[in-house]
Amino acid sequence: MRWISLTLLSLLLTWPNAIAQDEQEAPPSSAREVLSDLILENGEQEAVLEELSQYGDTIIEEVVAAWRIGKILIATPEGSETGVALINRDGALYEILTDAPYAGDPEATTKSRANRSLRKKLSRIVDVIELVSPDLDKRAEAALKLGSSQSPDYLPALKANLPKQKNTKTKEAFEEGLSISLLANGTTAEKISSLDGLTESPSIFARSFIEKLIKELDGDTSEDAQILRRKAEGALKAATAHEKKIEVYGTLFRGLSTGSVLLIVAYGLAITFGLMGIINMAHGEFIAIGGYTVFVVQSYFAERFGVGTAGYESYFLWAIPIAFLTAAFFGALLEIGVIRFLYKRPLESLLATWGVSMLIRQGLRMKFGSANVMVDAPQWLSGNVTVGDVTMPYARLFVIGFAVVVVFITWFILRRTKIGLHIRATMQNRTMASSLGIPAKRVNLFTFAFGCGLAGLAGAFLSQIGNVGPEMGQTYIVDSFMVVVIGGVGNLLGAAVSSMGIGMFDQGLQPVLGPVLGKVLVLIAIILFLQWRPGGLFPSRSRSLDD
């Protein structure tokens, strides 16, 4: 009972303070109320404008734009001493205060005209309205945009709103925008302080403004100019070093992303060619089957749920397993109808799968047309995240993550399951495996279908990066064979390592030499590597009597 009494006493003692705090933190007027007061000329104009500048509501921009073209009206209902501020939207009148349709007589209204001075002040408020936007990304973008304009009109707003920023990213954007603006509008001390800040926190965006300041200081021999020049050169040097570091990180990410795409594309080939010894020239077409499956699933979800709905946004999660199963199904048909009769006959299997690839391409053209089709990425894959000035698209990050999942699942199936044991035994020696009771035909069917299913998965992910067409897989087929051969035929770990190596090497050379020459040098490097290690990174060791 004692603790209950103490709790009640504490509540009684703090109750007056709680009431006072609630009174002090009463919510401010809305932007609509302030606009209504401004239009109806309620209150002092300067005070109303000052209050209006604290809102980030989009209604402010709409009302100011309407006011310029005479679409703001005032109505005074019968029996009322106060007017009602209205906005004309395509001939229909709405109350600004409540956003409800106006029920009064439209003829009993008068147009409100803002004088030139008021229009100028309102335009300035609209220009800086996003500095107080509830959307932090828009707020940061507005700070950089206004700062980069280097207009002295926006300097007070940047200074006033900087201390209010609690989010680290937004605060950094305000500091950067303010520093850029002060390079043109600040005093010598403010310019030095801004340059010191840009040296401590280098900015690629501010580099051109620093170079502009250095050019302006050319020929000025005063002491202040020399100090500013040294500071500016230091900030420029820091920005250049930061840019090079970002280029390195960006190249690493692009290399990892390209390697992940190659990994997903090549893993199916690593099974059909590396493990089974089948040169599947139709591998690119199975990639296209996966891409078109995503297109069909997207079209169904768009018709079933409507574009932009929550149901539609989940289409890609359904398309991933469907693309795998569809490609695996056609792969199983190919194995039963063609491949099963061509084991240990590489030339015939090459020619047969080449013919099948042409049939599949033509079938896709007849069904979907020869032109590429567009697959829209869901919203949760459309954006990007920026870490340390390195922009990373969500689609690429998803591919990297899923590549890890594919590697793990494939490893688990081959190394930790009974079917995986049968696959490894059958691929080493079919005759011996069959004599030991392993159903070699079913194992071959499952293995080939699984490899084609992985190709379908690759097509599903490639649909989020580029367009889908009958030829989409041909772009990657050569690179896929290179990945398998360099990693070591039949070695899945080697395929993973070689795909990342080729991706990094390719993306590292392209910014320096261009895409064409960079690709040529990659091919030359691969040829030289295979001259040195013909078996690849991890040469296969087999006890098969057929070797």
The residues that bridge with 134 in the sheet, in sequence order, are none
Residue type, 11: L
Token digits for 371?
Answer: 């032109």
Spatial neighbors of 222 by CB under 8 A, at least 6 apart, are: none
- Higher confidence at residue 80 or residue 335? 335
Residue 290: pLDDT band (50, 70, 90) is very high
pLDDT digits (tens, 9 = 90+) for 6-25: 343 343 333 344 333 333 33
pLDDT digits (tens, 9 = 90+) for 471-504: 888 878 878 888 888 888 777 788 888 888 888 8
The residues that bridge with 94 in the sheet, in sequence order, are 87, 101
Helices 31-39, 45-52: inter-axial angle, 10-degree rounding? 150
The mean of the pLDDT values for the chain is: 81
* Of residues 337, 224, 218, 228, the one with CA closest to residue 282: 337
Question: DSSP assignment of 142-198, as one string?
Answer: HHHHHHHHT-GGGHHHHHHHGGG--SHHHHHHHHHHHHHHHHHHS-HHHHHHHHHHH
Token digits for 178?
Answer: 């303010």
Mean pLDDT of 336-361: 88
Least confident of 240-249, 283-292, 396-405, 484-493: 484-493
Instruction: Give the C-alpha separation, 400 to 461, whole Å.
Output: 10
Token digits for 396?
Answer: 């690429």
**Other beta carbons less than 10 A from residue 44's beta carbon:** 10
**Other beta carbons less than 10 A from residue 106's beta carbon:** 13
Helices 474-487, 515-532: inter-axial angle, 10-degree rounding? 30
* Of residues 240, 250, 231, the one with CA closest to residue 204: 240
